[in-house]
C-alpha cells in the first residue's frame, strides 16, 4: 500500500513514521510513504501557497493551483488509480470502519490543509473524500494524516506479528478491552485477580468476556448498542445489568 502526503510541513512526519510499526511496515515494503512539500508546486517567485479570501473577512485560504500541480505530479508516478482525501474539519469523522474501507485501496493521496481553510475548488474538483478525525480544532491536517496512516497500516496483512492480529483489537469488535495484568502478582499489596493466576482457561476466558462487557457498559454504552453479541454474551450482559442497578 502506498500513501502520498501533500503538506506544507513534511518534516512533521519524519519522526513518527520512522518508529515502531510504521517503520517495520516500510522496511518490509508492505507500506510506502512519500512526502511532498506543497511549496515545491508553486510557480511564483514568493512560492505562495495561500491568499486572502474573495469576499473579504479574516484569515488566509489555501490556493488551488499548487494542490492541482502536486496531485498531477503524484498521479503520474502511480500505475493505478488513487483515492484522494482532504483532511479537514468538515469531513466525515474517521473511525475503525473507515480505516477498514481505506485498507482496500492500493494508493491513497492525503492532502493536509493549513490556514483557515482550503479553496472550495479543491474539494469540488480534486478530492474524492473529506475526513476529519474528531470534533476539536487542530492547527492543520498533518496530525490527522498521521492518525489515518497509523490506523490503516495496522490493518494491512503482514504488518502486525502473529502474536497480535488486528482482528483481536477490541475496536474491531466494537467493544473495550478487558483489564490486563503482568508480573509481579502482587505489588505494594495490589493484587492481580485470582482467576487470572488459576490456570483455568475456561474461567479466564469467561472473566475476560464479562469484564469487556462490564467496562463497555460503564464507559461506552453507545458502543454496546451497535455491537453484535453472541447469546452467551447477551446473557452475561443481562447479569451485569441486574447485579448493578446503576447500569
HEC-encoded secondary structure of 139-173: CCCHHHHHHHHHHHHCCCCCCCCCCCCHHHCHHHH
Choose, from 16, 26, 69, 89, the residue flagged as catalytic.
89
Cell 472550495 found at: 120
Q: Does 7 bind ligand 9D3 (CB under 6 A)?
A: no
Q: Does 144 bind ligand 9D3 (CB under 6 A)?
A: yes
Q: Does 49 bind ligand 9D3 (CB under 6 A)?
A: no
Q: How far is it, in rounded angstroms, from Cα 49 to Cα 64?
A: 8
CB of 145 to ligand 9D3, least distance (A): 8
Stretch in the footprint of ligand 9D3 (CB under 6 A) among 9-17, 43-51, 76-84, 132-140: 132-140
Any catalytic annotation for residue 16?
no
Q: How far is it, in rounded angstroms, from Cα 203 to Cα 233?
A: 14
Any catalytic annotation for residue 169?
yes
Stretch in the footprint of ligand 9D3 (CB under 6 A) among 20-28, 39-47, 140-148, 166-174: 140-148
**117: which residues sit within 8 A by CB, 6+ positions away?**
53, 59, 61, 62, 88
Q: Does 221 bind ligand 9D3 (CB under 6 A)?
A: no
**Cα–Cα separations (whole angstroms), residue 240 to 215, 218, 244:** 10, 10, 6
Q: Does 179 bind ligand 9D3 (CB under 6 A)?
A: no
Contact yes or no for 119/52 (Cβ under 8 A) = no
Q: Does 1 bind ligand 9D3 (CB under 6 A)?
A: no
Q: How far is it, in rounded angstroms, from Cα 96 to Cα 136?
A: 18
CB of 57 to ligand 9D3, least distance (A): 10
Please provide the distance, in angstroms rounded to a whole number, between the alpha carbons at the two ends of the chain: 43
Q: Does 16 bind ligand 9D3 (CB under 6 A)?
A: no
Any catalytic annotation for residue 44?
no
Contact yes or no for 166/172 (Cβ under 8 A) = yes
Quick note: the x/- pattern for ligand 9D3 over 50-89, rule CB under 6 A, is -------------------------------------xxx
Beta carbon nearer to ligand 9D3, 137 or 188:
137
Residues with catalytic annotation?
Answer: 89, 116, 154, 169
Binding site for ligand 9D3 (CB under 6 A): 87-89, 113, 116-117, 132-134, 136-138, 140-141, 144
Amino acid at each position: 500500500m502506498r500513501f502520498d502526503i501533500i503538506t506544507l510541513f513534511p518534516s512533521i512526519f519524519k519522526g513518527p513514521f520512522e518508529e515502531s510499526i510504521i517503520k517495520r511496515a516500510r522496511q518490509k515494503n508492505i507500506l510506502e510513504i512519500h512526502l511532498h512539500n506543497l511549496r515545491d508546486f508553486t510557480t511564483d517567485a514568493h512560492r505562495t501557497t495561500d491568499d486572502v479570501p474573495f469576499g473579504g473577512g479574516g484569515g488566509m485560504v489555501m490556493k488551488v493551483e499548487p494542490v492541482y500541480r502536486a496531485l498531477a505530479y503524484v498521479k503520474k508516478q502511480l500505475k493505478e488509480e488513487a483515492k484522494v482525501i482532504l483532511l479537514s474539519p468538515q469531513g466525515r469523522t474517521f473511525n475503525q470502519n473507515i480505516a477498514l474501507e481505506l485498507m482496500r485501496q492500493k494508493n491513497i493521496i492525503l492532502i493536509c490543509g493549513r490556514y483557515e481553510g482550503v479553496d472550495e475548488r479543491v474539494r469540488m474538483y480534486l478530492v474524492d473524500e473529506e475526513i476529519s478525525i474528531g470534533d476539536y480544532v487542530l492547527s492543520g491536517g498533518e496530525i490527522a494524516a498521521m492518525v489515518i496512516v497509523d490506523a490503516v497500516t495496522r490493518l494491512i496483512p503482514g504488518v502486525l506479528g502473529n502474536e497480535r492480529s488486528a482482528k483481536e483489537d477490541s475496536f474491531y469488535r466494537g467493544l473495550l478491552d478487558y483489564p490486563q495484568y503482568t508480573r509481579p502478582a502482587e505489588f505494594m499489596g495490589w493484587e492481580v485477580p485470582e482467576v487470572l493466576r488459576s490456570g483455568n482457561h475456561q474461567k479466564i476466558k469467561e472473566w475476560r468476556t464479562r469484564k469487556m462487557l462490564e467496562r463497555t457498559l460503564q464507559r461506552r454504552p453507545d458502543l454496546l448498542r451497535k455491537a453484535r453479541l453472541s447469546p452467551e454474551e447477551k446473557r452475561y450482559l443481562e447479569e451485569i445489568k441486574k447485579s448493578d442497578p446503576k447500569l
